[in-house]
Every structure is written in C-alpha cells, then in structure tokens.
Structure 1
C-alpha cells in the first residue's frame, strides 16, 4: 500500500517492536521497584532509605524515558516535524528532572551519613553520563528548537546529534548495570557469612 506523498512508509513490524520495547522498559522499572521494596526496605527521603531513590530515578529517567525520547522519531515519523521535536525535547526534560532527583538523593544521603562522594567507577561514569546528557539536550535545543540556527547548520549537526544520543543512552544503560553490580557487591560484603541484613540500604 502506497504511503501518502511526502511521508515515509512505516515498517509493518514497527508497532510490535515498539510495544515490546515499552513492555520491556516498564518491566525493568517494575522489577527495580520490586527489588527496592522487597529486598532493600523500600523508598523514603528522610531516612536511611533515601539512597534507594537513586536507582529508581535513574532507571526511570535515563533508561526508560530517554529510550522513549529516542523512539519518538520512529513512532511518529508521519506527524508534523515540529510536534515530534517538541515531544522529543519534553521527554528529555522529564528524564533530566527525574535523574536530577536521583542525583540529589544520593549526594544528600552521602552528606547526611558523612560518606565520600564519587568514590567508585559507577559514580564517575554516572556523572559523565549526566553531564553528557545535559550538554546533548542543551545543544539539541539550541540547534533544533530554538529559532535562529540555520538550516545548513542543523543539517550538518544532525548526524552527530543522532550518534551522541544513541551513545549516551547506551552509556546510561551500562552505567545502570554497573551500579546494580556495585550494589550487589556492597550487599554481599555486608552480609558476610550470615544473611540477616538483607533489608539494609547500600552505604
């Protein structure tokens, strides 16, 4: 079947791939929440459980919502370009705000406990990813949403924007996995030969 003039054809299997990606993303968020609730004691801001806000916010912001933002141009390829740009940017804003809450939570938790910040590979990778994410959004906003950038400049930068967007997303996933592994190692170190401290938060 011919697509309307000027519009890109939509692959027949795309809706199934998108539905699977959403199911997978929501499952990751739900499993993270269940892990924090059942095995980490839950989530709270004004207690030792404040640390648990960090992994949940990072998974929601820099993995689920950032992934959805990258899918916008595939899912809504036949919508008005301005609409997809705005939706792409807004999803990244939500991802940034939620990730920022996660960062504030872990830094505030360390401050209250008197612990050092940025003491692990995960923490340095996390800061790098967050700074790259923010820089990517600001540059993208300046080039594609803020009026004033020339068409030729946008065309030259677009491939770099797409590449760095995908790279930052993959770095986010890798950093999240690194953080979960770090949490597991902390927990195993605290448990030692006994297993009676399973609900204590990560230091």
Structure 2
C-alpha cells in the first residue's frame, strides 16, 4: 500500500484544517444568526433558506475538495481510490442539486430566481460537475472498453475537475457578497457587526481552502526534480 508523500503531508494537513474551519464558520453563521435567513416575504421557507449555505459549502465544496485529494492520501489500490473518489463526488453532486432546490423551493420558481450572477454561476457549476461525474461513472464501470478513450480525456477530466472546483469557490464568494450586501442594505446587519466578520472570515477560509486543495492536487507525488534529472542523465549515458 502506498503511503502519503512527506512533501504532501503538510498540504493535506492544512487542507483538512481549512475544511474544518470553513465548515465551522458556515455552521456558526447558519445556527447563531438564523434570523438573517428568514425570507421577508415568506417566513415559512426559513428552513430551505438555512439549508442552502450548509449544503453548498459543506456538502458541495468541502466534500468535493476531499474527493479531489483522495488520490493523494488514501492508501490502497488505484481502483479503490477511484471508487472512493466517485462516491464522494456523488455525495457532493447530490448536495449541490438539493442545495439549489432548497433555494428555489416554495418561492417564485427557478425562472424568477435566475437573475443574479451568483445563480447563473451556480447552475453552470453544478451542471459541469454533473457532467464530470457521469463521465467518471461511465469510465469506472467500463474500464476495459474505454481504456484508450480514458487516456485521451484524462487531462481534460483533471482540468475540468479543478476548474469546476474553482468555479464553485467563486460562486460561493459571490453568494456571500450578495447575501451580506442584501442584509446590510436592509439594515439588518451593520458593516462592523460580528456576523459581518463571520461572513468575511468564511470567504477568506474558502479562498485558502481552494488554494491548498488545488496546490496539493497538482504537486508531484514522489520524485523531486533533481532525482528525475539524475535518472534522465543515467538513462542517456547508458544508451
């Protein structure tokens, strides 16, 4: 069984800590400042408004980030890593779909709510994520038949996966800005209130999390540059 590379261990630790901080901040925001999530026109939809940030941040972003890092920390076979990656991404996708549904449920429908940059980016992000997951699911269960195709599309699969993850972070940031601006404009939250500090800290935590996850995912696993150069030189001399 493969062990975690020593060079990646600090990044994985920081990624986990960042994920816990982000999850903790969104829980504090949702549970301590519940009144900020009560719709002014339909208070009965309070629970749906409250579930939206929890599902999109913890369920969609944090879990999908963990799925990206599975290949870096999970010991075992390649198939095991792919299976865990696929299941975690499936949970993240379900959270994203249900999170969007809770936002639009019981209000004026999807069309009426599809007006902001945040909503546009959110639907595009979840759609890309769903396409990525279906591609990975099909590839996992048809490994033999799609070997050549998988090799060709793997770089694009990695690129789109990281791009979608970055887009999810950007979407969450626009959502935080939109929500906080809405609350401050209506006079419910002041600019220097504790809730504003929590939301701003959540935005910084998401930015840190995305950077660490992407860096850990693209960092080399085992060989360093000098060792690769030495191997290349020896190969050239022997030939």
TM-score exceeds 0.5: yes
What root-mean-square deviation, in Å, do the aligned CA atoms of Structure 1 and Structure 2 show?
2.9
In the aligned structure 1, how far is the partner of 2:135 from the partner of 2:94?
A: 17
In the aligned structure 2, how far is the partner of 1:108 from the partner of 1:19?
A: 38
Query: Paired residue for 2:59, among 49, 61, 83?
Result: 61
Higher relative contact order (CA 8 A, sep 6+): 2
1:125 matched to 2:102? The reply is no
Find runs of 4+ consecutive structure 1 residues off by over 4 angstroms: 42-46, 192-195
Tell me if the contact between 2:183 and 2:189 (Cα under 8 Å) persists in the aligned partners. no
**Superposition pairs of residues 94-113 of structure 1, within 5 angstroms:** 94-111=91-108
In the aligned structure 1, how far is the partner of 2:112 from the partner of 2:56?
A: 20
**Superposition pairs of residues 1-203 of structure 1, within 5 angstroms:** 10-41=4-35, 47-76=45-74, 79-111=76-108, 116-147=112-143, 149-191=145-187
**For 1:17, what is the secondary structure of its paired residue?**
helix
Q: TM-score, normalised by structure 1?
A: 0.82
Gaps of 5+ in 2: 196-239
In the aligned structure 1, how far is the partner of 2:183 from the partner of 2:111?
A: 17
**Residue deviations 1:131-160, cap 9 Å, x none?**
000001001211233355331111111111
Distance 1:192 1:38, change over 3 A: closer
Q: TM-score, normalised by structure 2?
A: 0.70
- How many residues are matched? 189
Tell me if the contact between 2:36 and 2:188 (Cα under 8 Å) persists in the aligned partners. no
Distance 1:58 1:194, change over 3 A: closer
Gaps of 5+ in 1: none
Larger Rg computed on CA atoms: 2
Q: Could you tell which deviates more after superposition, 98-107 or 88-97?
A: 98-107
